[in-house]
Structure 1
Protein backbone atom coordinates (compact mmCIF):
# COMPACT_ATOMS: atom_id res chain seq x y z
CA UNK A 1 0.00 0.00 0.00
CA UNK A 2 1.36 3.44 -0.91
CA UNK A 3 2.06 6.34 1.37
CA UNK A 4 -0.80 8.60 2.35
CA UNK A 5 -0.73 12.26 1.39
CA UNK A 6 0.10 14.89 3.98
CA UNK A 7 -3.53 16.04 3.93
CA UNK A 8 -4.74 12.48 4.58
CA UNK A 9 -2.18 12.04 7.37
CA UNK A 10 -3.44 15.25 9.01
CA UNK A 11 -7.04 14.06 8.66
CA UNK A 12 -6.11 10.68 10.19
CA UNK A 13 -4.38 12.41 13.12
CA UNK A 14 -7.42 14.66 13.69
CA UNK A 15 -9.71 11.62 13.64
CA UNK A 16 -7.53 9.77 16.17
CA UNK A 17 -7.40 12.79 18.52
CA UNK A 18 -11.18 13.29 18.33
CA UNK A 19 -11.84 9.59 18.85
CA UNK A 20 -9.39 9.44 21.76
CA UNK A 21 -10.97 12.51 23.32
CA UNK A 22 -14.37 10.81 23.26
CA UNK A 23 -13.17 7.36 24.35
CA UNK A 24 -11.03 8.74 27.18
CA UNK A 25 -14.02 10.71 28.51
CA UNK A 26 -16.25 7.66 28.20
CA UNK A 27 -13.91 4.87 29.35
CA UNK A 28 -10.79 6.49 30.83
CA UNK A 29 -7.26 6.83 29.50
CA UNK A 30 -6.60 3.10 29.97
CA UNK A 31 -8.24 2.43 26.56
CA UNK A 32 -5.72 0.44 24.51
CA UNK A 33 -4.04 1.86 21.44
CA UNK A 34 -5.42 -1.06 19.42
CA UNK A 35 -9.00 -0.33 20.51
CA UNK A 36 -8.56 3.37 19.93
CA UNK A 37 -7.22 2.88 16.42
CA UNK A 38 -9.98 0.39 15.60
CA UNK A 39 -12.58 2.94 16.76
CA UNK A 40 -10.85 5.51 14.53
CA UNK A 41 -11.07 3.17 11.56
CA UNK A 42 -7.29 3.01 11.23
CA UNK A 43 -4.63 0.35 11.74
CA UNK A 44 -2.72 -0.09 14.98
CA UNK A 45 0.57 0.40 13.13
CA UNK A 46 -0.50 3.82 11.94
CA UNK A 47 -0.58 5.11 15.50
CA UNK A 48 3.19 5.32 15.83
CA UNK A 49 3.48 7.25 12.57
CA UNK A 50 1.30 9.97 14.16
CA UNK A 51 2.22 9.95 17.87
CA UNK A 52 5.41 9.44 19.83
CA UNK A 53 3.51 7.61 22.58
CA UNK A 54 0.11 7.05 24.09
CA UNK A 55 0.95 9.77 26.62
CA UNK A 56 1.43 12.23 23.75
CA UNK A 57 -2.04 11.32 22.49
CA UNK A 58 -3.52 11.72 25.99
CA UNK A 59 -1.98 15.21 26.05
CA UNK A 60 -3.53 16.14 22.70
CA UNK A 61 -6.89 14.52 23.41
CA UNK A 62 -7.14 16.35 26.75
CA UNK A 63 -6.38 19.67 25.06
CA UNK A 64 -8.97 18.89 22.38
CA UNK A 65 -11.65 18.07 24.98
CA UNK A 66 -11.05 21.31 26.88
CA UNK A 67 -10.98 23.25 23.61
CA UNK A 68 -14.40 21.82 22.84
CA UNK A 69 -15.62 22.88 26.29
CA UNK A 70 -14.30 26.43 25.79
CA UNK A 71 -16.11 26.57 22.44
CA UNK A 72 -19.28 25.56 24.26
CA UNK A 73 -18.99 28.66 26.51
CA UNK A 74 -18.43 30.89 23.50
CA UNK A 75 -21.35 29.38 21.58
CA UNK A 76 -23.63 29.71 24.60
CA UNK A 77 -22.68 33.34 25.06
CA UNK A 78 -23.42 34.00 21.39
CA UNK A 79 -26.81 32.22 21.58
CA UNK A 80 -27.68 34.37 24.61
CA UNK A 81 -26.73 37.59 22.82
CA UNK A 82 -23.75 38.22 25.08
CA UNK A 83 -25.78 37.91 28.30
CA UNK A 84 -23.31 36.03 30.50
CA UNK A 85 -25.81 35.20 33.26
CA UNK A 86 -28.26 33.70 30.75
CA UNK A 87 -25.44 31.74 29.09
CA UNK A 88 -24.26 30.45 32.47
CA UNK A 89 -27.75 29.34 33.42
CA UNK A 90 -28.20 27.58 30.06
CA UNK A 91 -24.87 25.81 30.54
CA UNK A 92 -25.80 24.75 34.09
CA UNK A 93 -29.15 23.42 32.86
CA UNK A 94 -27.43 21.44 30.10
CA UNK A 95 -24.58 20.26 32.33
CA UNK A 96 -26.94 18.99 35.03
CA UNK A 97 -29.23 17.18 32.60
CA UNK A 98 -29.99 13.51 32.15
CA UNK A 99 -28.67 13.78 28.57
CA UNK A 100 -25.25 15.00 29.75
CA UNK A 101 -25.18 12.39 32.50
CA UNK A 102 -25.80 9.66 29.92
CA UNK A 103 -23.35 10.92 27.28
CA UNK A 104 -19.95 10.95 28.97
CA UNK A 105 -18.12 10.62 25.64
CA UNK A 106 -19.43 14.02 24.57
CA UNK A 107 -19.43 15.49 28.05
CA UNK A 108 -17.34 17.54 30.38
CA UNK A 109 -13.66 16.59 30.42
CA UNK A 110 -13.25 17.97 33.95
CA UNK A 111 -15.66 15.35 35.30
CA UNK A 112 -14.72 12.51 32.97
CA UNK A 113 -10.95 12.78 33.28
CA UNK A 114 -10.63 13.73 36.97
CA UNK A 115 -9.79 10.25 38.25
CA UNK A 116 -7.26 9.64 35.46
CA UNK A 117 -5.55 12.97 36.06
CA UNK A 118 -5.33 12.25 39.79
CA UNK A 119 -3.43 9.05 38.96
CA UNK A 120 -0.86 10.75 36.70
CA UNK A 121 2.13 12.77 37.82
CA UNK A 122 1.65 16.53 37.80
CA UNK A 123 4.52 17.16 35.40
CA UNK A 124 2.70 15.77 32.36
CA UNK A 125 1.27 18.05 29.70
CA UNK A 126 -2.21 16.54 30.07
CA UNK A 127 -2.20 17.39 33.78
CA UNK A 128 -1.23 21.00 33.02
CA UNK A 129 -3.93 21.28 30.33
CA UNK A 130 -6.48 19.71 32.66
CA UNK A 131 -5.61 22.11 35.49
CA UNK A 132 -5.82 25.14 33.21
CA UNK A 133 -9.10 23.87 31.75
CA UNK A 134 -10.64 23.46 35.20
CA UNK A 135 -9.43 26.92 36.19
CA UNK A 136 -10.85 28.48 33.01
CA UNK A 137 -14.19 26.69 33.50
CA UNK A 138 -14.42 27.93 37.10
CA UNK A 139 -13.56 31.44 35.95
CA UNK A 140 -16.30 31.33 33.36
CA UNK A 141 -18.83 30.21 35.99
CA UNK A 142 -18.01 32.97 38.48
CA UNK A 143 -20.58 35.68 39.13
CA UNK A 144 -20.62 38.74 41.35
CA UNK A 145 -22.42 36.67 43.99
CA UNK A 146 -21.02 33.17 43.51
CA UNK A 147 -17.50 31.80 43.37
CA UNK A 148 -16.79 29.91 40.16
CA UNK A 149 -14.81 27.18 41.90
CA UNK A 150 -17.69 26.43 44.28
CA UNK A 151 -20.15 26.39 41.37
CA UNK A 152 -17.90 24.06 39.36
CA UNK A 153 -17.41 21.74 42.34
CA UNK A 154 -21.18 21.54 42.80
CA UNK A 155 -21.73 20.81 39.10
CA UNK A 156 -18.90 18.33 38.75
CA UNK A 157 -19.71 16.52 41.98
CA UNK A 158 -23.38 16.29 41.07
CA UNK A 159 -22.57 14.93 37.61
CA UNK A 160 -20.18 12.29 38.95
CA UNK A 161 -22.66 11.19 41.63
CA UNK A 162 -25.54 11.16 39.14
CA UNK A 163 -23.51 8.98 36.78
CA UNK A 164 -22.56 6.64 39.63
CA UNK A 165 -26.23 6.25 40.66
CA UNK A 166 -27.73 5.99 37.15
CA UNK A 167 -30.73 3.71 37.16
CA UNK A 168 -31.97 4.84 40.55
CA UNK A 169 -34.29 7.75 41.38
CA UNK A 170 -31.43 9.30 43.34
CA UNK A 171 -29.54 10.05 40.13
CA UNK A 172 -32.10 12.52 38.83
CA UNK A 173 -32.67 13.91 42.34
CA UNK A 174 -28.98 14.79 42.51
CA UNK A 175 -29.12 16.64 39.19
CA UNK A 176 -32.30 18.48 40.14
CA UNK A 177 -31.00 19.53 43.57
CA UNK A 178 -27.69 20.81 42.22
CA UNK A 179 -29.41 22.69 39.38
CA UNK A 180 -31.83 24.31 41.86
CA UNK A 181 -28.99 25.29 44.20
CA UNK A 182 -26.99 26.90 41.41
CA UNK A 183 -29.82 28.73 39.68
CA UNK A 184 -31.81 29.92 42.69
CA UNK A 185 -32.26 33.69 42.76
CA UNK A 186 -32.10 35.64 45.97
Structure 2
Protein backbone atom coordinates (compact mmCIF):
# COMPACT_ATOMS: atom_id res chain seq x y z
CA UNK A 1 0.00 0.00 0.00
CA UNK A 2 1.41 3.44 -0.94
CA UNK A 3 2.02 6.39 1.29
CA UNK A 4 -0.81 8.79 1.93
CA UNK A 5 -0.54 12.36 0.74
CA UNK A 6 0.22 15.13 3.20
CA UNK A 7 -3.35 16.40 2.80
CA UNK A 8 -4.75 12.93 3.56
CA UNK A 9 -2.45 12.58 6.58
CA UNK A 10 -3.69 15.94 7.91
CA UNK A 11 -7.30 14.87 7.34
CA UNK A 12 -6.66 11.56 9.14
CA UNK A 13 -5.10 13.42 12.08
CA UNK A 14 -8.06 15.81 12.25
CA UNK A 15 -10.46 12.87 12.20
CA UNK A 16 -8.60 11.10 15.02
CA UNK A 17 -8.53 14.27 17.18
CA UNK A 18 -12.26 14.90 16.64
CA UNK A 19 -13.11 11.27 17.34
CA UNK A 20 -10.91 11.23 20.45
CA UNK A 21 -12.48 14.45 21.67
CA UNK A 22 -15.94 12.89 21.44
CA UNK A 23 -14.97 9.46 22.84
CA UNK A 24 -13.01 10.95 25.75
CA UNK A 25 -16.00 13.09 26.71
CA UNK A 26 -18.33 10.11 26.40
CA UNK A 27 -16.20 7.31 27.87
CA UNK A 28 -13.15 8.90 29.51
CA UNK A 29 -9.51 9.08 28.47
CA UNK A 30 -9.00 5.38 29.26
CA UNK A 31 -10.41 4.52 25.80
CA UNK A 32 -7.83 2.31 24.09
CA UNK A 33 -5.87 3.46 21.08
CA UNK A 34 -7.19 0.45 19.14
CA UNK A 35 -10.82 1.38 19.89
CA UNK A 36 -10.19 5.02 19.11
CA UNK A 37 -8.59 4.26 15.76
CA UNK A 38 -11.39 1.82 14.90
CA UNK A 39 -13.96 4.52 15.67
CA UNK A 40 -11.97 6.88 13.44
CA UNK A 41 -12.11 4.37 10.60
CA UNK A 42 -8.32 4.02 10.57
CA UNK A 43 -5.88 1.28 11.46
CA UNK A 44 -4.23 1.00 14.86
CA UNK A 45 -0.81 1.04 13.20
CA UNK A 46 -1.38 4.52 11.83
CA UNK A 47 -1.71 6.07 15.28
CA UNK A 48 1.99 6.44 15.99
CA UNK A 49 2.57 8.00 12.58
CA UNK A 50 0.28 10.82 13.72
CA UNK A 51 0.95 11.12 17.47
CA UNK A 52 3.99 10.65 19.70
CA UNK A 53 1.83 9.03 22.40
CA UNK A 54 -1.70 8.66 23.66
CA UNK A 55 -0.94 11.47 26.11
CA UNK A 56 -0.16 13.76 23.17
CA UNK A 57 -3.55 12.90 21.69
CA UNK A 58 -5.28 13.56 25.02
CA UNK A 59 -3.61 16.99 25.06
CA UNK A 60 -4.78 17.78 21.54
CA UNK A 61 -8.28 16.34 21.97
CA UNK A 62 -8.77 18.35 25.17
CA UNK A 63 -7.75 21.54 23.37
CA UNK A 64 -10.12 20.65 20.53
CA UNK A 65 -13.05 20.12 22.93
CA UNK A 66 -12.48 23.46 24.65
CA UNK A 67 -12.10 25.12 21.24
CA UNK A 68 -15.58 23.84 20.39
CA UNK A 69 -16.89 25.29 23.67
CA UNK A 70 -15.37 28.68 22.91
CA UNK A 71 -16.93 28.60 19.44
CA UNK A 72 -20.29 27.76 21.01
CA UNK A 73 -20.06 30.91 23.13
CA UNK A 74 -19.17 33.03 20.09
CA UNK A 75 -22.02 31.51 18.07
CA UNK A 76 -24.44 32.18 20.94
CA UNK A 77 -23.45 35.84 21.06
CA UNK A 78 -23.85 36.11 17.31
CA UNK A 79 -27.23 34.35 17.37
CA UNK A 80 -28.44 36.75 20.09
CA UNK A 81 -27.13 39.87 18.34
CA UNK A 82 -24.38 40.44 20.89
CA UNK A 83 -26.80 40.35 23.83
CA UNK A 84 -24.63 38.52 26.36
CA UNK A 85 -27.48 38.02 28.89
CA UNK A 86 -29.67 36.36 26.26
CA UNK A 87 -26.78 34.20 25.03
CA UNK A 88 -25.97 33.15 28.58
CA UNK A 89 -29.59 32.28 29.30
CA UNK A 90 -29.81 30.18 26.14
CA UNK A 91 -26.57 28.42 27.05
CA UNK A 92 -27.80 27.68 30.58
CA UNK A 93 -31.07 26.28 29.21
CA UNK A 94 -29.22 24.05 26.73
CA UNK A 95 -26.54 23.04 29.24
CA UNK A 96 -29.09 21.97 31.85
CA UNK A 97 -31.22 20.00 29.40
CA UNK A 98 -31.96 16.31 29.07
CA UNK A 99 -30.38 16.43 25.60
CA UNK A 100 -27.06 17.66 27.00
CA UNK A 101 -27.24 15.19 29.87
CA UNK A 102 -27.67 12.36 27.37
CA UNK A 103 -25.19 13.69 24.81
CA UNK A 104 -21.86 13.65 26.63
CA UNK A 105 -19.87 13.00 23.46
CA UNK A 106 -20.80 16.42 22.09
CA UNK A 107 -21.17 18.07 25.47
CA UNK A 108 -19.20 20.17 27.88
CA UNK A 109 -15.59 19.09 28.23
CA UNK A 110 -15.37 20.67 31.71
CA UNK A 111 -17.98 18.24 33.04
CA UNK A 112 -17.01 15.22 30.98
CA UNK A 113 -13.26 15.37 31.57
CA UNK A 114 -13.17 16.56 35.20
CA UNK A 115 -12.49 13.15 36.73
CA UNK A 116 -9.81 12.30 34.17
CA UNK A 117 -8.08 15.66 34.54
CA UNK A 118 -8.05 15.35 38.33
CA UNK A 119 -5.87 12.25 37.90
CA UNK A 120 -3.48 13.86 35.42
CA UNK A 121 -0.15 15.23 36.66
CA UNK A 122 -0.23 18.99 37.20
CA UNK A 123 2.45 19.58 34.57
CA UNK A 124 0.53 17.90 31.72
CA UNK A 125 -0.58 20.05 28.80
CA UNK A 126 -4.11 18.61 28.93
CA UNK A 127 -4.41 19.73 32.54
CA UNK A 128 -3.21 23.25 31.64
CA UNK A 129 -5.67 23.45 28.73
CA UNK A 130 -8.46 22.14 30.94
CA UNK A 131 -7.75 24.68 33.67
CA UNK A 132 -7.60 27.53 31.17
CA UNK A 133 -10.83 26.34 29.54
CA UNK A 134 -12.67 26.20 32.86
CA UNK A 135 -11.40 29.68 33.74
CA UNK A 136 -12.52 31.06 30.36
CA UNK A 137 -15.94 29.42 30.70
CA UNK A 138 -16.43 30.91 34.17
CA UNK A 139 -15.38 34.34 32.89
CA UNK A 140 -17.92 34.04 30.05
CA UNK A 141 -20.67 33.24 32.57
CA UNK A 142 -19.93 36.25 34.80
CA UNK A 143 -22.57 38.97 34.98
CA UNK A 144 -22.75 42.25 36.87
CA UNK A 145 -24.47 40.54 39.79
CA UNK A 146 -23.45 36.87 39.45
CA UNK A 147 -20.02 35.31 39.79
CA UNK A 148 -19.11 33.11 36.84
CA UNK A 149 -17.33 30.50 38.95
CA UNK A 150 -20.42 30.02 41.10
CA UNK A 151 -22.62 29.76 38.02
CA UNK A 152 -20.25 27.27 36.39
CA UNK A 153 -20.02 25.16 39.56
CA UNK A 154 -23.80 25.03 39.74
CA UNK A 155 -24.12 24.06 36.08
CA UNK A 156 -21.32 21.53 36.08
CA UNK A 157 -22.35 19.96 39.38
CA UNK A 158 -25.96 19.67 38.26
CA UNK A 159 -24.95 18.09 34.95
CA UNK A 160 -22.64 15.54 36.59
CA UNK A 161 -25.24 14.62 39.23
CA UNK A 162 -27.96 14.42 36.61
CA UNK A 163 -25.85 12.05 34.50
CA UNK A 164 -25.06 9.93 37.56
CA UNK A 165 -28.76 9.65 38.48
CA UNK A 166 -30.07 9.21 34.93
CA UNK A 167 -33.06 6.88 34.84
CA UNK A 168 -34.50 8.22 38.07
CA UNK A 169 -36.87 11.15 38.56
CA UNK A 170 -34.10 12.88 40.54
CA UNK A 171 -32.05 13.33 37.38
CA UNK A 172 -34.45 15.75 35.71
CA UNK A 173 -35.30 17.35 39.04
CA UNK A 174 -31.64 18.29 39.46
CA UNK A 175 -31.54 19.91 36.01
CA UNK A 176 -34.77 21.82 36.62
CA UNK A 177 -33.69 23.10 40.04
CA UNK A 178 -30.29 24.29 38.81
CA UNK A 179 -31.79 25.96 35.73
CA UNK A 180 -34.35 27.78 37.91
CA UNK A 181 -31.69 28.92 40.36
CA UNK A 182 -29.47 30.29 37.59
CA UNK A 183 -32.16 32.00 35.56
CA UNK A 184 -34.25 33.49 38.36
CA UNK A 185 -34.49 37.26 38.11
CA UNK A 186 -33.70 39.24 41.20
The answer to whether TM tops 0.5 is: yes
1:90 counterpart = 2:86: no
How far the C-alpha of 1:181 sits from its partner, in A, is 0.2
Normalised by the size of structure 2, how large is the TM-score?
1.00
Q: Distance in 1 between matches of 2:122 and 2:45?
A: 30
Moved over 4 A (4+): none
Counterpart of 2:156?
156
Residue-by-residue CA offset, 1:97-143 (whole Å, 9 max, x unaligned): 00000000000000000000000111000000000000000000000
Counterpart of 1:141?
141
Normalised by the size of structure 1, how large is the TM-score?
1.00
Q: Distance in 2 between matches of 1:81 and 1:93?
A: 18
1:78 counterpart = 2:104: no
Q: Distance in 2 between matches of 1:23 and 1:171?
A: 23
Residue-by-residue CA offset, 1:139-162 (whole Å, 9 max, x unaligned): 000000000000000000000000
Q: Secondary structure at 1:166's aligned position in 2? A: coil
Counterpart of 2:62?
62
Aligned positions, number: 186
How far the C-alpha of 1:169 sits from its partner, in A, is 0.5
Give the unaligned 5+ runs of structure 1.
none
Give the unaligned 5+ runs of structure 2.
none
Q: Distance in 2 between matches of 1:6 and 1:92?
A: 41
